[in-house]
Structure 1
Amino acid sequence: MKRQNVWGFLVCGAAICASTVAARSETLLVANQKDANLALIDTGSAKVVATIPVGGVTGHELAVSPDGKTAYVPIYGNAGVGRAGTDGSEMSVIDLGSRKIVGKVDFGHGVRPHCAIYDRNSGMLFVTTELDKSVSIIDPKTLKIVGSVPTGQEQSHMLVLSKDGKRGYTANVGPGTVSVLDMVGRKTLAVIPISGNTQRISISRDGSMVFTADQKKPQLAVIDTATNKVKTWVELPAVGYGTATTPDGRWLLVAMRGAKQVAVVDLKTLKTERTIDVGDGPSEILVSPDGKHAYVACNMSNQVSVIDLGHDAGQWKVAQTIDAGKYADGMAMVK
C-alpha cells in the first residue's frame, strides 16, 4: 500500500513537471556568429531542434515578424565593430516554417547591417547600417528600402525604440555616444556623450530611461528621455554589456562579459542588488514575456544560460545551460 502511495506521488510529480515544461515550451532563436546559422531551441526541453544557415558570413542579430513566421537576419561581415574586415550588404529573410531563406534585402553597398527591429506601430523594419551612419527603413512586405534615419555618428551598432515607435536610440560604439532619433520625422534630435566607448542599449518599460554600458569603466549610463541627458550612473561590479528589463519594470539585468556574471539592478534605487554567475562571455539578454526566465547568450562558452526569475526557491540562479552554437549572440523568442 505504501509503495502504491509513493508511486502515485511520483506519477503526480512527473505530471506537474511535464505540465511546467509544456508551459515553457516556446522556441528561442539564437544567432550563432561563427556557425553562421540560427539555432532553434525548444525552451521546454532546452535542446536545439534545428539549425538554419543564415546565408552569409555571419549574422549577429535578428528580428522576428509579429506572427512568428519570419526571421530577419542582417549579414554584418566577418569583423568586429570598427575593425577591418568585410562589409556586409544584405539581410536574409528566413521562413521559420520551412526553415529556408525565402528572400534578401540588398542595401546596394557595404553598410555592415547589424541590429534589426520589427516595429509593430509602423509595420516597418528598422536596421542599423553602420557605414552609412544611419538606420535603414525596410518594408517587410516588399523587402524594399523605403527610407533612412541619420544618426550623425559612426558605428551606430544597436538600436532601441520607444513603445510608440516615435523615438529611437542608437549606441554608437567607437564615438562613445547615443543618438536620439525622431523615427517619424526621420532626423537626429540629439547626440549624447557617454564615454570613450559604449556598447548595447535598452529602454525602461515606462520609456523614461535609456541604458547603455560604458566600456572604459564599470558603470552604466542612465539617460533621462525627457531631457536627453545622462541623469546618473549605476556602479557595476565589472564592465557591463547587454541589458534587459523585466516585464514588471522593476529590475534591469546587465551582462558583464569579463566577470562571467549578470548584475541585477533595482530600477527604484538604481543600485546593483546582486550578481548571478553565468557562462563565459555573456553578451545579450532576453527576458521571457511572462518574466519568469532570462536567457543570456554567452559567446565564449557557446551557450545560453537560463536564469530563473520566478518566485520559487531557485530564483535568481541559473536553472539550465543550453549548448547553442559557436559564438551565440543575438536572440528572439517565438511561440
Structure 2
Amino acid sequence: MSTVSIIDTAAAAVIRRVDVPGDVHHVAVDPTGRFAAVTHPGLGGVTALDLSSFEIAATVATGPYANYAAFSPDGRRLYVSNAGNGTVSELDVERWIVRRNVIVGETPEHLVLSRDGGRLYVNNVDAGTVSVVDTPTFEVVDNLAAGAPLHGLELADDGDTIFVAVMGEDRVVAFDLAGRQRRDVALAPAPYHVAAIAGTGKLYVSSDVEPKLWVVDGETLAVLHEIEIDGKGHQIAQPARR
C-alpha cells in the first residue's frame, strides 16, 4: 500500500492523504479537475481518486507494469502505458473500464497527447521509437525512430514538434510532426526528463547522472545555459499560465 498526498498550494500544506492499494509511479489529473489517476506498476493497473471526496472511485487492471497515464483534453478518456507487454490501454472515465488496447513497441512509458487529443505519442523505451496513435481509431499510424533507450517525451508549446530524450545515446531528438524531419543535439551525460516551457520556446532537460538542468532553445536545439540543482532531476513542471 502507498499514500497519495493532496496539497493546498495556496497554503503550502498537505490537506489529505489517501491510501492506495499499491506502489505509485505516476499521477495524472484530468483537465476538468474531477479525478486523479495513479499508476501501480506492481499491480498492473491504475487507481482513480475522486477529487471532490478524496475517495477511491475505482481501481482498474490495465496490463503488466502500468507506468504512465494521460487524460484526454475533455477528461472523458484516460490512457495508460503498460511497459510489461508493450501496450497502451484506453479507459472510459465515466464507467472506469478498459475500452480498447493497442500494441505499440517494447517497454512503453511516457505519453503525450496532442492539444486536440487526436494523436497520442508513446515513447517505447527499449525499442527506441515513438509510436503515434490515432485516438479515434486507436491504431498506430506511425513510428518515429529516435534511438535507445529513451526516457523523457514532450510536445512543443505550438504542438508542431515532439522532443525525445535518448538517454542511451546522450542526445535529445526533435521531430517535426508535419514533415517528419528529425533534428538532434548531443547532451551528456544521460538526458532524462524534458519539459517545454510555455511561451518561451525553451526546453528544460534534466540529467539522470548529474545534478543539473540544461536549458535548450526549442527551435535550434542550442544549449543556452545550465542550472545546477541539488540532486537528480526527475519530473519537471511549471504553473499553469493565467
TM tier, smaller: 0.7 to 0.9
Alignment pair present for 1:284 and 2:193: yes
Q: Deviations over 1:206-262 (max 9, x none)?
A: 322211122333322111112111112112244432211112111001111112211
Structure 2 stretches lacking a partner, 5+ long: none
| 8 Å Cα contact 1:205-1:245 kept in structure 2 | no
Corresponding residue of 1:222: 132
Matches within 5 A, 1:166-245: 166-245=76-155
Shift of the 234–121 alpha-carbon distance from structure 1 to 2, 3 Å rule, reads: same
Secondary structure of 2:116 counterpart:
coil
Matches within 5 A, 1:128-167: 128-148=39-59, 150-167=60-77
Alignment pair present for 1:300 and 2:205: no
Corresponding residue of 2:28: 117
Shift of the 202–120 alpha-carbon distance from structure 1 to 2, 3 Å rule, reads: closer
Corresponding residue of 1:328: 233
Aligned residues between the structures: 240
Query: What is the alpha-carbon distance in structure 2 between the residues aligned to residue 95 and residue 282 of structure 1?
Result: 32
Query: What is the alpha-carbon distance in structure 1 between the residues aligned to residue 159 and residue 106 of structure 2?
Result: 29
Query: What is the alpha-carbon distance in structure 1 between the residues aligned to residue 169 and residue 188 of structure 2?
Result: 10
| 8 Å Cα contact 1:160-1:202 kept in structure 2 | yes
- Tell me which protein shows more helix as a share of its residues: 1
Query: What is the alpha-carbon distance in structure 1 between the residues aligned to residue 2 and residue 148 of structure 2?
Result: 35
- Higher mean displacement: 98-107 or 162-171: 98-107
Shift of the 98–323 alpha-carbon distance from structure 1 to 2, 3 Å rule, reads: farther
Corresponding residue of 1:251: 161
Query: What is the alpha-carbon distance in structure 2 between the residues aligned to residue 280 and residue 101 of structure 1?
Result: 35
| 8 Å Cα contact 1:279-1:304 kept in structure 2 | no
| 8 Å Cα contact 1:279-1:305 kept in structure 2 | no
AA aligned opposite 1:130: P
| Fraction of identical pairs, as percent | 22
Shift of the 129–217 alpha-carbon distance from structure 1 to 2, 3 Å rule, reads: closer
Query: What is the alpha-carbon distance in structure 2 between the residues aligned to residue 137 and residue 214 of structure 1?
Result: 25
Deviation at 1:263, TM superposition (A): 0.4
TM-score where L is the length of structure 2: 0.88
Query: What is the alpha-carbon distance in structure 1 between the residues aligned to residue 74 and residue 39 of structure 2?
Result: 19
Deviation at 1:279, TM superposition (A): 4.5
- Higher mean displacement: 230-239 or 181-190: 230-239
Q: Deviations over 1:147-197 (max 9, x none)?
A: 33x243021110112111112211111212111111222111112122332
Structure 1 stretches lacking a partner, 5+ long: 1-87
Query: What is the alpha-carbon distance in structure 1 between the residues aligned to residue 144 and residue 106 of structure 2?
Result: 17
Query: What is the alpha-carbon distance in structure 2 between the residues aligned to residue 209 and residue 215 of structure 1?
Result: 19
AA aligned opposite 1:281: A
- Tell me which protein shows more strand as a share of its residues: 2
Deviation at 1:275, TM superposition (A): 0.8
| 8 Å Cα contact 1:299-1:326 kept in structure 2 | no
Query: What is the alpha-carbon distance in structure 2 between the residues aligned to residue 238 and residue 216 of structure 1?
Result: 6
| 8 Å Cα contact 1:279-1:303 kept in structure 2 | no
| 8 Å Cα contact 2:105-2:131 kept in structure 1 | no
Structure label with greater radius of gyration: 1
Deviation at 1:97, TM superposition (A): 5.2
Corresponding residue of 1:89: 2
Across the aligned residues of Structure 1 and Structure 2, the Cα RMSD in angstroms comes to 2.2
AA aligned opposite 1:319: L
Shift of the 113–265 alpha-carbon distance from structure 1 to 2, 3 Å rule, reads: same
AA aligned opposite 2:159: G
| 8 Å Cα contact 2:202-2:216 kept in structure 1 | yes
| 8 Å Cα contact 2:110-2:153 kept in structure 1 | yes
